[in-house]
Amino acid sequence: MILPFLIIIPLLAAFLITLISGGRDSWAIVFSILAVISLLALSVFSFLSTGSQTFIYEMSGWKIPLTICLVQDALSTFMLVIVNLIALTSLMFSVSYIRQYSAPWKYYALFMLLIAGMNGVIATGDIFNLFVFMEIALFSAYALVAFGGKAEEYEASFKYAVMGSVSSTLILLGIGILYSATSTLTMAKIAEILPTLDVKLTYWVGAIFLAGFGLKAAIIPFHAWLPDAHSSAPAPISAMLSGVFIKSLGVYVLIRLFFNVFGGVAVFNEVFLVIGAISMIIGVFLALGQWDIKRLLAYHSISQIGYIIIGIGLATNLGILGGVFHLFNHAIFKALLFYNAGVLEMTTGTRDLRQMGGLAKKLPTTSFTSMIASLSIAGLPPFNGFFSKLIIFIAAIQAGRPVYAFLAGLGSLLTLASFMKMQRYAFYGKENKDADKTLAKVSTAMKWAMISLAVLCLLTSLMVIPGIRELTLDPVVAVIMNKTGYIAEVLGR
């Protein structure tokens, strides 16, 4: 069973980094990169070998529901691939970028704990251990947001910690209610017992979890922490937070709970559609007015999560396919955009687009990859964002929800306008005469991190081709659409 190693390896790496690094980052870099390469390889192997099957790892001699279990199915392994793919590119980008900060070796220890927490949340089949792993990831995230040691970063981290504590309290309350009603913490066993109880219990706990995990996912109106946290964190951490963190602790858990545990209750699907549409439109309007490039990207995270939630809320095979595919695509192009923003901030000393300009020739790799990511997030062909948004658009029409299709199209047009503004002022506008002429050097590793994701923005479009889709996306959709089939898959073992 591979799943335990996806948690053990990053925890062991974090321990070794703190034990051996001795104030230098050389060993920390080696341990981190070896660990994440191993994690990515194990994740890809798990995903390709799982298919439509479900594997259970019981962490003691006891059997479910008396033991803590890990669940390996297409949904969990798909998420593990996304997390560890973005983690590897973030580490590549971090090697030279983080050296501008003091004690960079501590960064890598925290980074490993962040990955361990996210992998644990995804892999566990026990709802209380989901909470424990979530807290490991959250405390690492709080420290990483404040890693630069500036007042702005401390403020953002404090705000994030306060909001995170509120959401964690709500989640723990929901877990307590479920445990008192079902006498078990195994999610599959909870799903088996819930239909025998008063339906009001599901509604109440669902509402609590929607608020708690909705805050982790930064869905409007639970988004207040995100713009400050994402804009203040170091660029590779912003990429992790936006690309995978809000998905693994937020969107993934919402999908797992509301479909596989609660059984896809119709009223919650309607709520998903409404808050998804609100997040999609308000997020992009807030982004349009931003001149701070990282805050602009942060608001687009809210908007793009809205697309995913709409796809999931449609609760049709095609809608969920579009939502799952967009979840994957957003991780790629949003991580790339935050790398681009990190290069711009590092080389120009500012995040204000109005103080940039004329950088296309000076930063050709950043300019080229930024254009690809911008076209991807705006949903232009032949890039991956086009296909996932198109699927969601068609799914909304087929489901008799033309209003959501219209809003999705409007959101894409406004996203395109927002990123054309970014391209004009950062790369193709008039050069700022007052700007420092000496640009900081962009390392080869940073360039390769950007290039690799830019290539994936194009290659992952192939995932919608029949034959490839059956191997990659369809098994994930089947797990979600099967809803309480999760009960038989887990307890039947």
pLDDT tens-digit series, residues 183-227: 899 998 999 999 998 899 999 999 999 999 998 888 888 877 888
In angstroms, the CA 276 to CA 304 distance is 9
- DSSP per-residue codes, 92-117: HHHHHHGGGSS-HHHHHHHHHHHHHH
Q: CA nearest 219: which of 273, 168, 260?
A: 273
Tokens 């912003």: give the residue. Answer: 238
Query: Averaged over 3-23, what is the pLDDT?
Result: 88
pLDDT at 493: 58
Runs of H (alpha helix) within 124-150: 127-145
Q: What is the pLDDT of residues 228-245, one digit of tens each?
A: 888 888 889 999 988 898
Nearest 5°: CA angle at 267, between 266 and 272?
Answer: 95
Contact indicator for 326, 386 with CB cutoff of 8 Å? no
Residue that has been written with the tokens 């995804």 in this structure? 122
Provide the mean pLDDT of the chain.
89
- Residue 54 pLDDT exceeds 90: no
Res 61: pLDDT: 72
| pLDDT(350) > 90 | no
Percent of the chain residues topping a pLDDT of 70? 97
Please give the Cα distance from 328 to 335 (Å, whole number). Answer: 11
pLDDT digit string, tens, across residues 285-300: 999 988 889 999 999 9
User: What is the residue whose two structure tokens read 């969990």?
Assistant: 76
Residue 264's pLDDT is 83
Residue type, 366: T
Residues present in the chain in total: 493
Distances in Å between the Cα of 60 and the Cα atoms of 6, 57, 63, 184 are 18, 9, 8, 16
Contact of 306 with 322, CB cutoff 8 Å? no
Q: Quick one: pLDDT at residue 127?
A: 92
Structure-model confidence comparison of residues 436 and 477, the more confident one? 477
Contact 474, 74 (CB under 8 A): no
Check whether 71 has a pLDDT greater than 80: yes
Q: How far is CA 363 from the centre of its chain?
A: 28
Q: For residue 450, is pLDDT > 90?
A: yes
d(CA 78, CA 476): 7
Q: What is the pLDDT of residue 440?
A: 66
Q: How much is the average pLDDT of 45-68?
A: 83
260 and 486 Cβ atoms separated by less than 8 Å: yes
The mean pLDDT value for 160-174 works out to: 92
Other C-beta atoms closer than 10 Å to the C-beta of 423 total: 17
**Cis? peptide before 221, omega within 30° of 0:** yes
Asked if the model's pLDDT at residue 435 lies above 60, the reply is no
In whole angstroms, give the CA distance from residue 386 to residue 375: 9
Q: 180: phi > 0 → left, psi -120 to 50 → alpha, else beta; which?
A: alpha
Q: CA quadruple 443, 342, 374, 385: dihedral positive or negative? A: positive
3-state secondary structure of 80: helix
The distance from CA 46 to its chain's CA centroid, rounded to whole angstroms, is: 20
Q: Nearest 5°: phi and psi at 62?
A: -75, 160
Mean pLDDT over 265-286 rounds to 93
Share of the chain above pLDDT 90, in %: 57
Residues 6+ apart with CB under 8 A from 485: none
What are the backbone angles phi and psi of residue 436, rounded to the nearest 5°? -65, 125
Query: Per-residue pLDDT for 10 more than 90?
Result: yes
As a whole number, mean pLDDT of residues 249-276 equals: 92
